[in-house]
Structure 1
Amino acid sequence: MDIALLEVFRAVACEQSVTKAAERLGRVPSNVTTKIQQLEAEIGVSLFQRETKRMLLTPQGATYLDYAERILNLADEARQAVNPTRPTGTLRVGSMECSVASRLPAPLTRFNQAWPEVAIDLSTAPTRSLIDAVLGHRLDCALIAVPAGEWWLAPDALEKVPVFREQLVLLTPAGHPEVRTAQDVKPRALAAFAPGCTYRELAQNWLTENGGTAAGLTFHEVKSYHAMLACTAAGACISVMPKSVVELMRHVAVETTPFTTVDTYLACRPGFATPAFQAFRDILLESSNIASNNDQPPGSGSHSVVKHNSKLSSSL
């Protein structure tokens, strides 16, 4: 399979435009058009729907893009593996939103200064989606939060190293009474990211397994922590997020209650060890707040509302 053809296909799929893809690849538009036609002829199906100003993937094209991404990523990984002299190429990093907001800016700056030849391709998603992308070779590594004992993730499916420890806090509207148990929570809605977010799962389990808002619990799905905080401040919802994120938005009036601690792991496929990844891992470990952290291990905080739920605490 011609790697160059796949690179042209991926560029057009991402840009939805032959002209923009040509600019990105340093080619002339006619060459890009010819390459796409050549690829479609080889496969025997149309990969794009041609519109006036856009090139949209057909269902077959979307399926083919998933395979093309994995092939190109593996090819790049192979190049780095056989010539491991220094970090080069592209490192595809996935992360939870909270880590991007409060933990990654400084390490990414240091990494870019140390290894300017490496291009960081950064994307965000909930933990479950990140894990699927790592296992599917769409990402090289990801910052995830996975409580121990999760049935859906085999123990040896990923190599994981803890890099950050997050103090999760329960957010309630300003003036809300003190929360000691789930029964003390008044709003019956949880502002959270889409399913697949570990923090959402922890909050949902605690609320529903402790008789708090179990009856009629609803979800208000949001796209950002700013939106989550705003919904809570408005009085309609509660939410759970890392204290490090809340500290970035001190201007919003809400009540905070310690909830539990959860480790953030840098995860990759077993055996994945390109020079770029190893350099990135080393910088994250140098930035870790775990080795010198005086916090208690995840799930055992003496001031955590989760202490009332032995099942949840023991799963972390």
Structure 2
Amino acid sequence: MDIHLLEIFIQTAQEGSISKTAKKLNYAQSNVTHKIQQLEADLQTVLFYRHKKGVTLTPSGQVLVGYAEKILNTINEAKAAVGSRSIPSGPLVIGSMETTAAVRLPSVFAQYHLKYPNVDFSLVTGPTEKLLHGVLHYELHGAFVSGPIEHPDLTQDKVIEERLVLVTSPNHPRIQSIHDLQNHTMLVFPKGCSYRAKLNTLLQEEGLLPVKLMEFGTLETIIACVSAGMGITLLPYSIIADYEVRDKVTCHSLPEKYSSVTTMFVKRKDTLITPALSAFLDETKKEILQSQLHR
């Protein structure tokens, strides 16, 4: 089986379009079509349904995606293993929730880059759901997500326990009870965010419904809008402690059963621990431990 054909197949499956795949790979559209047809002929099955909006995986195509991702990842790992040296080098792609990346990881990234300049480090931020997808599909070497996570293909290590608080503008009345949230607008991250899921669980269990959910893509925007009195949000205290000190926001405690969230580092069980990844994990543990000791 031609590895190049598998690479084109995976790209087409991700794009859902022959034309988009051709544009991304800088190929002629007819060339991509021919490669897909060649792979289908080799496997004696149809991999895509063709329609006006693009292409969709057939059941056979869906099965092949999993195998193709494993094959391509194994090849990349083999290259890394054969070419690896004791000094960390090569690509390392790590995912993180935006809040963790903003508060907990800058010192980790700075120290890591200083010590291992030969590593081609990339950071991808997003909600937990998106990050888990990236890890499972070999797009990320690992990711910092909200846990615990239960998945047969993943391993997880606890990084830190966070205290969740409700965040309002400084002039908002003190929230004495969860039921004080009734009829308030809640500011949230896009779907897939663990904090948003936690908020939904809290509201549902307490029989509450917000008047409106307003969705924002960045932490800075949410905090600025909360500070301006647009609504209330739910975040780890470590994220907004400095804003409260500067009287930009006010924090309100939650009942104990809602107030805890754990950040985990997850990776696939079959992920090769390269020198670059091993050094990153060591640096993370050291920096997180030092930050806890200085609190």
For the aligned pair, the TM-score class normalised by the smaller chain equals 0.7 to 0.9
Inter-partner Cα distance in structure 1 for 2:71 and 2:231? 43
Aligned match of 1:254: 249
Give the drift of 1:82: 5.0
Inter-partner Cα distance in structure 2 for 1:34 and 1:67? 23
Inter-partner Cα distance in structure 2 for 1:290 and 1:162? 16
Residue type of the partner of 2:155? E
Contact preservation (8 Å) 1:229, 1:252: no
Q: Equivalent of 2:236, from 232, 236, 242?
A: 242
Contact preservation (8 Å) 1:172, 1:239: yes
Aligned match of 1:209: 205
Give the drift of 1:106: 2.1
Inter-partner Cα distance in structure 2 for 1:293 and 1:253? 27
Aligned residue for 1:90, secondary structure, equals: strand
Residues 1:288 and 2:283 aligned together: no
Once the two structures are overlaid, the 10-residue window that deviates more, 80-89 or 95-104, is: 80-89
Aligned match of 1:309: none
Contact preservation (8 Å) 1:46, 1:58: no
Inter-partner Cα distance in structure 2 for 1:229 and 1:105? 19
RMSD: 4.0
Contact preservation (8 Å) 2:186, 2:214: yes
Q: CA distance change for structure 1 residues 202 and 263 in 2, over 3 Å: closer, same or farther?
A: same
Q: Equivalent of 2:163, from 167, 179, 189?
A: 167
Q: CA distance change for structure 1 residues 279 and 199 in 2, over 3 Å: closer, same or farther?
A: same
Inter-partner Cα distance in structure 2 for 1:264 and 1:46? 38
Aligned match of 2:76: 76
Inter-partner Cα distance in structure 2 for 1:279 and 1:209? 42
Give the drift of 1:39: 5.6
Inter-partner Cα distance in structure 2 for 1:175 and 1:233? 9
Inter-partner Cα distance in structure 2 for 1:114 and 1:10? 35
Q: Equivalent of 1:226, from 220, 226, 232?
A: 220
Aligned residue for 1:288, secondary structure, equals: helix
Give the drift of 1:21: 5.4
Aligned match of 1:312: none
Inter-partner Cα distance in structure 2 for 1:220 and 1:103? 26
Identical columns (%): 29
- CA deviations 1:227-249 (Å, max 9, x no partner) are 22233234342101123332565
- CA deviations 1:120-161 (Å, max 9, x no partner) are 2321221122223322323221101114xx7xx24x542222
Residue type of the partner of 2:91? T
Contact preservation (8 Å) 1:74, 1:137: no
Aligned match of 1:108: 109
Contact preservation (8 Å) 2:8, 2:35: no
Q: CA distance change for structure 1 residues 3 and 115 in 2, over 3 Å: closer, same or farther?
A: farther
Contact preservation (8 Å) 1:76, 1:89: no
Q: Equivalent of 1:158, from 146, 149, 154?
A: 154
Which ranges of structure 1 fall in alignment gaps of 5 or more residues?
Answer: 23-28, 50-55, 296-316
Contact preservation (8 Å) 2:5, 2:39: no
Which structure shows the higher helix fraction? 2
Residue type of the partner of 1:129? K
Contact preservation (8 Å) 1:95, 1:122: yes
Inter-partner Cα distance in structure 2 for 1:46 and 1:128? 27
- CA deviations 1:163-214 (Å, max 9, x no partner) are 2333322112332221232023355332112332221222222233235xx0
TM-score by length of 2: 0.72
Which ranges of structure 2 fall in alignment gaps of 5 or more residues?
Answer: none
Q: Equivalent of 1:191, from 187, 190, 197?
A: 187
Aligned residue for 1:166, secondary structure, equals: strand
Give the drift of 1:5: 5.7
5 Å-filtered alignment, 1:31-50, equals 38=35, 41-43=38-40
Inter-partner Cα distance in structure 2 for 1:179 and 1:240? 13
Residue type of the partner of 2:282? D
Inter-partner Cα distance in structure 2 for 1:248 and 1:73? 42
Give the drift of 1:223: 0.9
Contact preservation (8 Å) 1:70, 1:138: no
